[in-house]
């Protein structure tokens, strides 16, 4: 490691004249030279990410045939094979909390709130919703209080629906996988511009956002002088890190601007600007990229992302599936429709692989972001045609700062609570907890 003559505080920001505040990634100059704190500073706290896909999976195309190391990647998991050594696939887990338990229909409404809590939600069509505090918020309360954002909640489809969205269940249950308390679901932001402003911009009011948009100004334009001043005296590697990081921010901002222009040529900007990309591919990748930037600068250490919401009517003509996702999931054991659901599963896995590659390509302390992350990906549903919740399609990627071994397919006794896995993830992230939801013990992973 190079020793720089300049020492910077870990929480260093570049502030622009238009109100933007750019947090910096971990630099060599932020690590105390030749001290006992060096090793700790060079290994940032583990980031946690929780990705949610609705409507389960074609399980025989997801589940590896053999256990342990050296398993063969199935068609759905094949896009993730480049990350074998930092990937663990779990089989045998169940989400009992999403089952009826005497409440009748409503499996879609129960799937999202129970995914990260293991709590069976209260069946209600009113405002008296109740589920459970989710694992991301447990981590945020312990590890997110010294970051600008304790947590980040993202989605791609409208999650502001009100009223009744599934049999006897309020839409609030399907709108979020993140619950701060048992009665407070957190909104999942779907607009990349709003997320970008939350991470880097002032975003103080609609007028300021519109003015910058109309002038085609970048947040980075106003910090050029401060960047030049900061880089004076920094080592070559630190200057390169800053340059690459700011280039990534600028590129994402450019892509958001292009998406906004394509979405509408005459935009009347309300309190939250519009500009959701027309292309789902671009939309999902932007949301993944924004999580990478947030992790890189430790703006937050935990994120949740609903790749789609339950009962999603999104179509995928670009991969040969013109029918809505939810309709395809009720395939009636028709081989043609099962094949189309498999295509959607593979496509979602391909987008997730894009995220993992971006994490792996981003330096972070003594490794990269994937080394210092745990990213769970999966669904609360198994075979969507039957609306069952066992066995679940679940996997975890990342090294958890050296605490998680990848390259494995772990098979547990049938119907092991998924909450046991969540407890295991918390333990790897440095949080000891006796129970969570319907857990019966902690999985050793």
Q: What does residue 81 show for φ and ψ, rounded to 5 degrees?
A: -60, -35
The answer to whether the predicted template modeling score (pTM) of the entire model surpasses 0.85 is: yes
Q: Band of the pLDDT at 262, cuts 50, 70, 90?
A: low
First to last CA, the chain: 32
Q: Band of the pLDDT at 263, cuts 50, 70, 90?
A: low
pLDDT of 3 over the 50 cut: no
- CA 121, chain centre distance (Å): 22
Residue 353: per-residue pLDDT: 98
What mean pLDDT value characterizes the chain? 88
Q: Band of the pLDDT at 272, cuts 50, 70, 90?
A: very low
Q: Band of the pLDDT at 26, cuts 50, 70, 90?
A: confident
pLDDT digits (tens, 9 = 90+) for 380-421: 999 999 999 999 999 999 999 999 999 999 999 999 999 999
Averaged over 314-332, what is the pLDDT?
Answer: 97
Q: Band of the pLDDT at 201, cuts 50, 70, 90?
A: low
Residue 271: per-residue pLDDT: 39
Averaged over 33-46, what is the pLDDT?
Answer: 58
Structure token digits, residue 401: 């700062």
Stronger pLDDT, 13 or 332, i.e. the higher one: 332
The shares of helix, strand and coil residues in the chain, as percent rounded to the nearest 5, are 40, 15, 45
In whole angstroms, what is the distance from residue 408 CA to residue 169 CA? Answer: 38
Q: Band of the pLDDT at 218, cuts 50, 70, 90?
A: confident
pLDDT of 160 over the 60 cut: yes
Name 398's Cβ contacts closer than 8 Å, sequence gap at least 6. Answer: 86, 359, 370, 371, 372, 373, 374, 375, 404, 406
Averaged over 41-45, what is the pLDDT?
Answer: 64
pLDDT of 284 over the 80 cut: yes
Residue 335 burial (C-beta neighbours within 10 Å; 0-12, 13-18, 19+): exposed
Averaged over 62-81, what is the pLDDT?
Answer: 97
Residue 6: per-residue pLDDT: 58
The top-scoring range by mean pLDDT among 41-50, 82-91, 197-206, 223-232 is: 82-91
Residue 224: per-residue pLDDT: 72
The H or E element that residue 395 is part of is strand 394-397
Residue 163: per-residue pLDDT: 82
Residue 240: per-residue pLDDT: 87
**% of the chain with per-residue pLDDT over 90:** 67
Q: What domains sit in the chain, N to C, each tagged with a CATH number? A: 1-42+193-275 (no CATH), 48-190+280-445 (3.40.720.10)
C-beta atoms surrounding 141 within 10 Å: 14
**% of the chain with per-residue pLDDT over 70:** 85
pLDDT of 11 over the 80 cut: no
In whole angstroms, what is the distance from residue 48 CA to residue 310 CA? Answer: 23
Structure token digits, residue 282: 């671009």
């Amino acid at each position: 490691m190079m020793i720089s003559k300049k020492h910077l505080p870990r929480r260093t920001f570049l502030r622009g004249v238009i109100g933007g505040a750019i947090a910096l990634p971990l630099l060599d100059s932020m690590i105390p030279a030749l001290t006992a704190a060096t090793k700790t500073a060079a290994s940032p706290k583990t980031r946690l990410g929780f990705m949610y896909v609705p409507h389960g999976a074609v399980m025989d195309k997801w589940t590896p045939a053999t256990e342990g190391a050296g398993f063969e990647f199935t068609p759905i998991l094949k896009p993730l094979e480049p990350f074998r050594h930092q990937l663990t696939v779990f089989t045998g887990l169940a989400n009992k909390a999403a089952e009826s338990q005497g409440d009748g229909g409503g499996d879609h409404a129960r799937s999202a709130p129970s995914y990260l809590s293991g709590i069976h939600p209260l069946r209600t069509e009113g405002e008296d919703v109740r589920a459970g505090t989710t694992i991301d918020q447990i981590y945020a309360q312990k590890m997110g209080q010294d970051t600008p954002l304790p947590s980040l909640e993202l989605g791609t489809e409208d999650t502001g629906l009100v009223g009744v969205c599934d049999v006897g269940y309020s839409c609030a249950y399907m709108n979020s996988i993140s619950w701060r308390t048992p009665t407070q679901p957190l909104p999942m932001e779907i607009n990349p511009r709003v997320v970008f402003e939350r991470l880097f911009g002032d975003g103080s009011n609609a007028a300021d956002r519109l003015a910058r948009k109309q002038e085609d100004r970048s947040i980075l334009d106003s910090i050029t002088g401060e960047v030049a001043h900061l880089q004076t005296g920094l080592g070559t590697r630190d200057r390169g890190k800053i340059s690459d990081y700011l280039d990534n921010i600028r590129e994402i901002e450019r892509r958001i601007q292009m998406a906004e222009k394509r979405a509408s040529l005459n935009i009347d900007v309300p309190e939250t600007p519009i500009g959701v990309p027309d292309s789902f591919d671009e939309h999902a990748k932007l949301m993944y990229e924004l999580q990478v930037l947030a992790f890189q600068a430790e703006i937050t250490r935990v994120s949740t992302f609903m790749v789609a919401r339950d009962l999603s009517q999104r179509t995928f003509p670009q991969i040969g599936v013109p029918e809505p996702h939810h309709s395809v999931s009720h395939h009636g054991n028709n081989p043609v429709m099962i094949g189309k659901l498999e295509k959607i599963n593979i496509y979602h896995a391909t987008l997730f692989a894009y995220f993992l590659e971006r994490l792996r390509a981003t330096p972070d302390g003594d490794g990269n972001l994937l080394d210092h992350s745990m990213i769970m990906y999966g669904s609360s549903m198994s075979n969507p045609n039957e609306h069952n919740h066992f066995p679940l399609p679940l996997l975890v990627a990342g090294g958890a700062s050296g605490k998680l071994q990848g390259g494995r397919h772990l098979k547990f006794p049938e119907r092991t609570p998924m909450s046991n896995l969540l407890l295991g993830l918390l333990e790897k992230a440095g949080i000891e907890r006796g129970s969570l939801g319907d857990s019966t013990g902690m999985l050793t992973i």
